[in-house]
Structure 1
Amino acid sequence: MNIFAKAAQLEQDNIPFALANIIETRGSAPRHSGQMIVKADGSIIGTVGGGMIERYVIEQALEALKERKPRVVKGRMTRNGPDAMGMDCGGAMTVFVDVYGLRPSLILIGAGHVNRAVAQAAHVLGFDISVADAYADSLAEEHFPAGTKRLLGDTMEEAIDQLDINKDSYVVIATNHQDQDAISKVVDCETRYTGLMASRRKVQTLFTHLRQSGVDEARIKNIHSPIGFNIGAETPEEIAISIMAEILKVKHESAGGQLKDDTRLNQNKLVLVRGAGDMATGVAVRLFNAGFKVVMTDIAKPTMIRCSVSFGQCLFGEPVQVEGITACKANNKDEVFAIIDRNQIPVVVDEECSYAGTLKPTFLVDAILAKHNVGTQKDMAPITIALGPGFTAGKDCDAVIETNRGHHLGRVIYQGATQPNTGVPGNIAGYTHQRVLRAPCAGVMHSHVKLGDLVQEGDVIAHIGDSPVVAPLGGMVRGLLNNGLSVREGFKIGDIDPRGEEADYTTVSDKARAIGGSVLEAMLHLEQHTMS
């Protein structure tokens, strides 16, 4: 069997491999033509010349398999210089590495009419299909596309045991009366997607059974059920399209929805939020959950203290999650829309709010809470809303939201200003100023505890330079500035929640949630009255 016949067999069996092909040589290259198969375990078939250049091609081929992307590999048989291989031959070689045998794995549990239709739809989309059932007649060859792996067991559990379910699998459960057996068997498997075809009432019954069986709630939440998109599907073929659309959404990490609603074309759902601290994040969570596309801006190194509930934390490195919503740093307009397409929230460094002109959002929300206006103008967007003191509705914004705790918290004001800043932190268990940590001097912040830690009065929480910051009372560390930030004397660097273990530092606060609801109310009201 020649190398191309072997490659064809591996591709048919969906076994991952890379095919390396010499496309250019110069000088004393070990070979001037040749192909080599590199399997995922590093074993090879064929050669591109041996020696150090071949070892390098194998390493690059394995990397290409991991990335699932082809690449061009260059090597020079010299001791020094670009692409040097540490050799004395003096030649050069360019190798093209392509990857194969990487069809996504679709596992169908149940071989009834719906999964037969799913198999037909998935086949033309390039999926590698396996189907399992306990009824031999249901698994008849004529029901499924060529190449489908059909697995029969005496019971559904035995049939499932024969399947190779892994973290890259897409699993669809559609059985007649064995849903409970199937989902109980699969729920703890790591997959890219697990979908269960069942009515809403049946879903409740099955999920209750899983909870009573001790299945972790996070596992249950990962099950897509009822399965598919709501397109009014009734026939098996229509249901199959609905299911495969949902699988493709997951596969491509797409936000879904209709193309006509793409925020590049339609800004009616696009909201730009100035600020990405805890209050701005509370607003973003409410708007995101209501179906709006949210973009947030902040300074390069935000000085928020409620880092665990602030989307701005992503500007310090990795993406962050708050209440199941992911935020990622974006560096330009294209990245903003790419993150939105993944159904996430982009956060950009933009102190001057230049993205208001770039993105042209319908809504702009100033949630910086600087206690004064730092540059927001009413004409920055068709509808402009601001939080707290420093703004006058009708002058520099269309609406302003009351942020002082008390009877009027969350009140929407369409003409005039909010109450002035009291300067008094919120009262928690009788403590206001006492629970706030402030810098004793100017310097760089270095913390000795982390958010969520329980501390006692007098414990050293942090240092500003060489000066210690001690806990003024016992409780939970609910707020803490990021390490390494420079602060001025008197700057707020953290706070202690006297409720201790009863405090919650992982979810949006009641105040932020209430204000977020008021922003949503103002947006809908102004949209109805100013844009109709």
Structure 2
Amino acid sequence: MNIFAKAAQLEEQNTPFALANIIETRGSAPRHSGQMIIKADGSIIGTVGGGMIERYVIEQALEALTERKPRVVKGRMTRTGIDAMGMDCGGAMSVFIDVYGLRPSLLLIGAGHVNRAVAQAAHVLGFDITVADAYAESLNAEYFPAGAKLIQGSTMADAIDQLEITKDSFVVIATNHQDQEAITKVVDCDTQYTGLMASRRKVQTLFNHLRQCNVSEAHIQAIHSPIGFNIGAETPEEIAISIMAEILKVKHQSSGGQMKDDTRLNQNKLVLIRGAGDIATGVAIRLFNSGFKVVMSDIAQPTMIRCSVSFGQCLYGEPCEVEGITARKATSCDDVFKAIDDGQVPVMVDETCCSLSNLKPTFVVDAILAKRNLGTTKDMAPITIALGPGFTAGVDCDAVIETNRGHYLGRIIYSGVTQANTGIPGNIGGYTHQRVLRAPCKGVMHNHVKLGDIVEEGDVVAHVGDTPVVAPLGGMVRGLLNEGLSVTEGFKIGDIDPRGIEADFTTVSDKARAIGGSVLEAMMHLEQNRMS
């Protein structure tokens, strides 16, 4: 059997393998043409020349199989230099490695009308199909596409025991009266997707049964049931399309929304928020939960102190989560739209809003809270809204929101300005200025506590350079700048909440929620006027 016939056999069996093919050689290469199959266990069929270059190709082929992506590898038969293989031949070789036998595994439990239709739809989409049932007559090969593996057990549980269920498997359970038996066997398996066809009432009954069997809530909630997309499907063929659409959504990690609602095409719901601190985050959460697509921008190292409730924290490294919503750093407009598709809030380093021309948002919200305008203009978007002092509604924005605590907090102004900055922090437990930590000198921040810690008056909270910063009163550390930031003398670096353990540093503040609600109201009002 030649190497290509063997490759065809492995592909038919859906056995993972890589095929390495010499595409270019120069000088004294060990071979000038040749192919080699590399299986997942490292065994090979054929050769690309032996020696160090072949070992390197095998290593690269195994990596390609793990990543499920092809690649080109280059090697020079020298002891030094780029791509050196530690050889003395002096030639060079390029090898193309492609991967095969990686069709996604679809396990259909139950061989009735729906799973027969699912099998036909999945076959066209390139899935490797296995069907399990306890009834021989249901497993008639004529009902299924060529190549489908059919497994019969003495019981449904026996049939399931014969399946190879892995973390990469897609499982669909569609039985007549054995769904409880089937889901009980499968629920604890780590899969890519587990779907259960059942009515809403039946789902509730089955899930309660699983809870009584001490199945974890995480495993129960991972089950896709009722299964599929709500497209009004009634026939087995229509239901199959609904199920496969959901499976493809999971497989491709897609949002699953309608194409016409793609933010790239329909930007009526796109909002750019300037700033990503705690107040801006409260606004973002209110808008996100109201169905808007939110993107935020800030400086490379934001100086927010309420880090645990600020989406800007993701600019320091890993994605962050506030109230169940994840924000992640985006480095391009493509990244922005990918994050939005993934149901997340993208945050860009874009101090001057250079991305506006590409994003073209309908709304711009200036939530920097610098007490002055840092460049927001009314023509940035069809609707512009700003927070706090420094803006004039009707001149540099369409509306401005009052941010001073008190009776007028959250007031929407469509013509004119907000109250002047008082410079007085909000009163908590009778403390205003006293609870604020400020840098005693110019220097670099070094923290000794973390957000949520309880401190006593006089405790050392941080150092700025070599100078200690002590707690002015006892309470919870509710705000603190990120470690390693450079600050100037008098800069606000943290705050202490005198309520102590009763304080909450993990959710947005009442002030942020009030302002977020006002921004939403202003957006809706201005949009209605714009469309009328």
TM-score category of the 2 structures, normalised to the smaller one? over 0.9
> Shift in Å at residue 487 of structure 1?
0.9
Corresponding residue number in structure 1 for 2:382: 382
1:242 and 2:229 aligned? no
Corresponding residue number in structure 1 for 2:28: 28
Per-residue CA shift, 1:358-417, capped at 9, x if unaligned? 322111111112222211111111011122233232222222223333444333332333
Counterparts of 1:82-161 in structure 2 under 5 Å? 82-161=82-161
Give the Cα–Cα distance (whole angstroms) in 2 for the partners of residues 130 and 41 of structure 1.
Answer: 23
Counterparts of 1:277-288 in structure 2 under 5 Å? 277-288=277-288
Give the Cα–Cα distance (whole angstroms) in 2 for the partners of residues 153 and 503 of structure 1.
Answer: 59
With over 3 angstroms needed to count, the CA separation of the structure-2 counterparts of 1:315 and 1:442, relative to structure 1, is: same
Partner of 1:233, secondary structure, is coil
1:421 and 2:421 aligned? yes
* Greater mean alpha carbon deviation, residues 466-475 or residues 374-383: 466-475
Q: Any conservation in 2 of the 1:461–1:469 contact (CA below 8 Å)? A: yes
Counterpart amino acid of 1:358?
N
* Greater mean alpha carbon deviation, residues 211-220 or residues 512-521: 211-220
Q: Any conservation in 2 of the 1:398–1:414 contact (CA below 8 Å)? A: yes
Partner of 1:224, secondary structure, is coil
Give the Cα–Cα distance (whole angstroms) in 1 for the partners of residues 466 and 169 of structure 2.
Answer: 54
Normalised TM-score (structure 2):
0.92
Per-residue CA shift, 1:495-528, capped at 9, x if unaligned? 3344445544333334333332332222222111
* Greater mean alpha carbon deviation, residues 484-493 or residues 138-147: 138-147
Partner of 2:248, secondary structure, is helix
With over 3 angstroms needed to count, the CA separation of the structure-2 counterparts of 1:5 and 1:359, relative to structure 1, is: same
Counterpart amino acid of 1:229?
F
> Shift in Å at residue 257 of structure 1?
2.0
> Shift in Å at residue 430 of structure 1?
4.8
Corresponding residue number in structure 1 for 2:75: 75
> Shift in Å at residue 318 of structure 1?
2.5
Counterparts of 1:62-461 in structure 2 under 5 Å? 62-211=62-211, 213-461=213-461
> Shift in Å at residue 76 of structure 1?
0.7
Corresponding residue number in structure 2 for 1:490: 490
> Shift in Å at residue 19 of structure 1?
0.7
> Shift in Å at residue 316 of structure 1?
1.8
Counterpart amino acid of 1:360?
K
Corresponding residue number in structure 1 for 2:522: 522
Q: Any conservation in 2 of the 1:357–1:380 contact (CA below 8 Å)? A: no
Counterpart amino acid of 1:387?
L
Give the Cα–Cα distance (whole angstroms) in 1 for the partners of residues 105 and 237 of structure 2.
Answer: 20
With over 3 angstroms needed to count, the CA separation of the structure-2 counterparts of 1:81 and 1:136, relative to structure 1, is: same
With over 3 angstroms needed to count, the CA separation of the structure-2 counterparts of 1:119 and 1:423, relative to structure 1, is: farther
Give the Cα–Cα distance (whole angstroms) in 2 for the partners of residues 295 and 32 of structure 1.
Answer: 53
> Shift in Å at residue 531 of structure 1?
2.2
Give the Cα–Cα distance (whole angstroms) in 2 for the partners of residues 421 and 115 of structure 1.
Answer: 66
> Shift in Å at residue 154 of structure 1?
4.0
Partner of 1:417, secondary structure, is coil
Counterpart amino acid of 1:94?
S
Q: Any conservation in 2 of the 1:254–1:343 contact (CA below 8 Å)? A: no
Per-residue CA shift, 1:38-78, capped at 9, x if unaligned? 12222222221111111111111122112211111111101
> Shift in Å at residue 428 of structure 1?
4.2
> Shift in Å at residue 217 of structure 1?
4.0
Q: Any conservation in 2 of the 1:298–1:347 contact (CA below 8 Å)? A: yes
Give the Cα–Cα distance (whole angstroms) in 1 for the partners of residues 500 and 156 of structure 2.
Answer: 50
Give the Cα–Cα distance (whole angstroms) in 1 for the partners of residues 65 and 359 of structure 2.
Answer: 37
* Greater mean alpha carbon deviation, residues 437-446 or residues 176-185: 176-185
* Greater mean alpha carbon deviation, residues 473-482 or residues 299-308: 473-482
- Structure 1, gaps ≥5 residues long: none
The percentage of counterpart residues that share the same residue type is 83
Normalised TM-score (structure 1):
0.92
With over 3 angstroms needed to count, the CA separation of the structure-2 counterparts of 1:55 and 1:257, relative to structure 1, is: same
Give the Cα–Cα distance (whole angstroms) in 1 for the partners of residues 458 and 187 of structure 2.
Answer: 48
Counterpart amino acid of 1:379?
D
Between the two proteins, the alignment pairs up a number of residues equal to: 532
Counterpart amino acid of 1:193?
Y
Counterpart amino acid of 1:336?
V
Taking only aligned residues, the RMSD between alpha carbons, in angstroms, comes to 2.5
Give the Cα–Cα distance (whole angstroms) in 2 for the partners of residues 519 and 281 of structure 1.
Answer: 12
Q: Any conservation in 2 of the 1:452–1:478 contact (CA below 8 Å)? A: yes
